[in-house]
Amino acid sequence: MASCRSWGPSSRRRTLARARPVPTPSAAAARALTAPGYRGRVTAGGPDIRPSRDIPVVDLTAGDVAEIARVHVLAQPDSELGRYGPEVVRRSYLWQFEGPHDLTAIGVRRDGELQGFLIGGVFRGSTTGFVKREWRFLVGQVLRHPSALLHPGARSRMVLAGRLLLGRGAPSAPDPASAVDRSFGVLAIAVDPAARGQGLGRAIMDAAEQTARAEGYDQMHLTVEPANGHALAFYERGGWQPWTPEGEPWTGFMVKPLR
């Protein structure tokens, strides 16, 4: 999405075979910088990598989706959703608030203006529900913005959307949430470019981790663009590790054990 670079697969609680963490996160991340970009579920939106300071983090509600969409577009102007217009971004985040999810939505405000946010938790149909609810609007936006189909990965996302609408589901894919019973997914995190370098990204992520620990989650997970070296540095400094199933190349999944 977001944040989001793409709509991404839904996330749910489930128990599958434990996957093998990549043994050398930094080396794996470095190799991934030259790999083809993976259009995953989450992007960092360029959060700063300075240590967290005493920055107040507040809860966000559905009434804040217009501001969330604004920060998303500013932080990620070339995201897939953003190319179809800010209203698509707004509606995608509204679905995260209104859908059957265990949602955590937090952010930082200064002078009454949202400057950064994080959307996380357990998502049940973060993509499928959005596409099914908004498919008429989405078709109209595609017709109005045909050039957006030139965005890397956009065509595959349209095929996925078609499969979802036809009830055929999405092809199975590795999911770091399957490694443990309880995993808190970070769907989107973004910081207004004008506010970067001030510790906002770290403060927001730290607050999300505190929430995940308090609610009994065993780990956190997200997907990052492998070629985004700035985001990789941000996450690795925060204790995140690349994750991959046995015998598969790393495609951007990262996890952070909480126990």
> At residue 65, does pLDDT exceed 90?
yes
Fold of 25-257: Aminopeptidase (3.40.630)
- Give the model confidence (pLDDT) of 216-244 as tens digits: 999 999 999 898 999 999 999 999 999 98
Q: What is the CA radius of gyration of the chain?
A: 17
And the tokens for 81?
Answer: 């959703």
User: Which of 134-138, 144-148, 240-244 has the lowest average pLDDT?
Assistant: 144-148
Amino acid 232: pLDDT: 93
Read off the pLDDT of residues 5-57 as tens digits, 9 standing for 90 and up.
333 333 333 222 233 344 333 333 333 332 332 223 343 444 443 445 589 99
- Residue ranges of the domains in the chain? 25-257
Between 184 and 88, the higher pLDDT residue: 184
| 162, pLDDT greater than 70 | no
Cβ distance 121 to 103 under 8 Å?
yes
d(C-alpha 160, C-alpha 170), whole Å: 6
d(CA 145, CA 140): 9
243 φψ region: left (φ > 0), alpha (ψ -120 to 50), beta (else): beta
